[in-house]
Structure 1
Amino acid sequence: MITITMLGSGSRGNAILVDGSAGSLLVDAGFGVRTLAKRFEAAARRPEEVGGLLLTHEHVDHACGAAAACDRWSWTVHASAATHTALSVQASGAPADVAVLGTSGQMSLCGFTVEHTPVPHDASDCRAFVLTDEASGARAGIVLDAGHVPDGLAAFLERLDLLVLESNHDDAMLADGPYPAPLKARIGGGQGHLSNRHASALAAACAHRGLRAVVLAHLSETNNTPELAVKTARDALRKAAWKRDSVLAAPQRIVLSPVSADGGVGRPAAAQLSLGL
């Protein structure tokens, strides 16, 4: 079985706890260690339970806490060679205990088979992941930052039980919003972030009877709303004949209740805790 707990997702920080039958992994550490510790506490979990950290890429909202968390909780940080190199020149520094992901492929880690593939983003080498629980066969896909949907990505995400997918912005809200033109071009360009429209099309391409839930991630607080992102994805999934209704938007400032591979949503996280950024 796989359960996903979104500890927070957005431009202020991203971290995803993935639990399987035999272990737990964290995907991205875009918060400082104090905030990460608070997010784990809100989820009624302990960072010491995590067996390793997977990094999608080096941008601060995904990796600023990687080095300090590795040092504090003895995590090994798994990322591409280019991501490790980029981290080494950032203010947060390079993690002490690292493992290098190849160009693509798979590995066994903490009871998961971890597959990874490059996705287009203005980072050194951004990756999408599929984690398969080796005991149950349950599969979760995670795509956090991608400027567009490359050929082969939907096939990489086939037969998922859970999909975590960036749905960053609404096209009209971005175009009419307050950001300066260069930033709008960067976000909406082919190396930026997925819009609701493109994310929903990818979700629809991944739809099948076994897909239990879709969690929309990395929503812009300026150029999107949870209601709009969920509606856009849900409409596309219904057109693809997906019969379920489990489409959720991950918040930035609080922990989302755990979502399991059978489609169940756990009890609400302790949102009343003070979760500093």
Structure 2
Amino acid sequence: MTHGGRADEGASDLVGGAVITVTMLGSGSRGNAILIDGSEGTVLVDAGFGVRTLAKRFETAQRAPDDVGAVLLTHEHVDHACGAAAACDRWSWPIHATSATLAALSVQASGSPMLTVPLAERGATTVCGFSVEHAPVPHDAADCRALVLTDVRSGARAGIVLDAGHVPDGLSDFLDRLDLLVLESNHDSALLTNGPYPWPLKQRISGGQGHLSNAEAAHLAAACAHRGLRGVVLAHLSETNNTPDLALGASRDALRKAGWKRDSVSAAPQRLPLSPVRTDGGVGRPAATQLALGL
């Protein structure tokens, strides 16, 4: 991969046609959960729904909790981890996260999962056939992390960036040569400024430890653009301070200016799963059935 908008260089070639599949079970302030399938296994990134809601999301996506071999947590906030302990107990999922995130999780009301496995402080950790790397992102949590999952067998790579107050130096390099990118595009700056939230909450969201705006997300997406990037999924959209059209428009425009020739950009909804997005370029349609949000 090369940066600076030269998207025609550095294409990745998948080995043997292997495919990573990303299925967004839901993304936003009410909860986040992402299924990632590889050649040898499936992981769930974040478990920000209660067990009953999470089970419904699996059912609507025509998947089963038994498909999951492990959970990876980006951080301990309730919209990313409130279901981790109960889901671990019910489905015997090991929970992988940084040591600081696991420590923060242990003192929350939801409690600590039965089986926790710290991610390596440096380098990669192998989880369910993925080589998992992580990098810090600025957020008001104990140790929020961006993740890159590389399918060990094929070399296909998926990156996940959620809950970042701004784009730190080196993050685009960490996201090098991705095949799929899941990227927070939380708010439109004008809608947030003129919207109904109280001023302290507006400051938290737009400050350096809050969430990425559409413009910031679009800039990062463009920095990650290269010929081998097969798809971008925009995540954690605010239901009050954003719209899918605004988020998609910003990222599509930036990616086009960076020379990216594809149009496989989608926005994950909060209230229902988004059908699978694949490293072979396939993009499904959102599921038609709306889900109840009761925990």
Give me the TM-score of the superposition, normalised by structure 1: 0.98
Instruction: Give the AA of the match of 2:211.
Output: H
> Could you give the per-residue CA deviations for residues 106-162 of structure 1, whole angstroms, max 9, x where no partner exists?
111111111111111000000111011112111100001100001110000010010
> Could you give the per-residue CA deviations for residues 73-95 of structure 1, whole angstroms, max 9, x where no partner exists?
00000011111111111110011
Aligned pair 1:140/2:140, yes or no? no
Instruction: Give the AA of the match of 2:150.
Output: T
Instruction: Give the AA of the match of 2:70.
Output: G
2:67 alignment counterpart: 49
1:160 alignment counterpart: 178
Aligned pair 1:265/2:287, yes or no? no
> Could you give the per-residue CA deviations for residues 140-186 of structure 1, whole angstroms, max 9, x where no partner exists?
00001100001110000010010000000011010000111110000
Task: Give the secondary structure class of the aligned counterpart of 1:148.
Answer: coil
Q: Is the 8 A contact 2:57 2:291 kept in 1?
A: no
Instruction: Give the AA of the match of 1:219.
Output: L
Aligned pair 1:174/2:192, yes or no? yes
Aligned pair 1:83/2:101, yes or no? yes
Instruction: Give the AA of the match of 1:199.
Output: A
Residue ranges of structure 1 left out of the alignment (5+ in a row): none
Q: CA RMSD in A?
A: 1.0
How many Å apart are 1:36 and its aligned residue?
0.5
Q: How does 1:57-136 map to 2 (within 5 A)?
A: 57-136=75-154
Task: Give the secondary structure class of the aligned counterpart of 2:25.
Answer: strand
More relative contact order, 1 or 2 (CA 8 Å, 6+ apart): 2
How many Å apart are 1:105 and its aligned residue?
2.2
Supply the distance in 2 between the matched residues of 1:254 and 1:220 (Cα, whole angstroms): 15
Instruction: Give the AA of the match of 1:176.
Output: N
How many Å apart are 1:273 and its aligned residue?
5.3
Q: Is the 8 A contact 2:274 2:285 kept in 1?
A: no
2:5 alignment counterpart: none
Give me the TM-score of the superposition, normalised by structure 2: 0.92
Q: How does 1:127-276 map to 2 (within 5 A)?
A: 127-266=145-284, 268-269=286-287, 271-272=288-289, 274-276=291-293
Supply the distance in 2 between the matched residues of 1:158 and 1:206 (Cα, whole angstroms): 7
Residue ranges of structure 2 left out of the alignment (5+ in a row): 1-18
Instruction: Give the AA of the match of 2:125.
Output: M
Identity of aligned residues (%): 75
Aligned residues: 276
Instruction: Give the AA of the match of 1:243.
Output: K
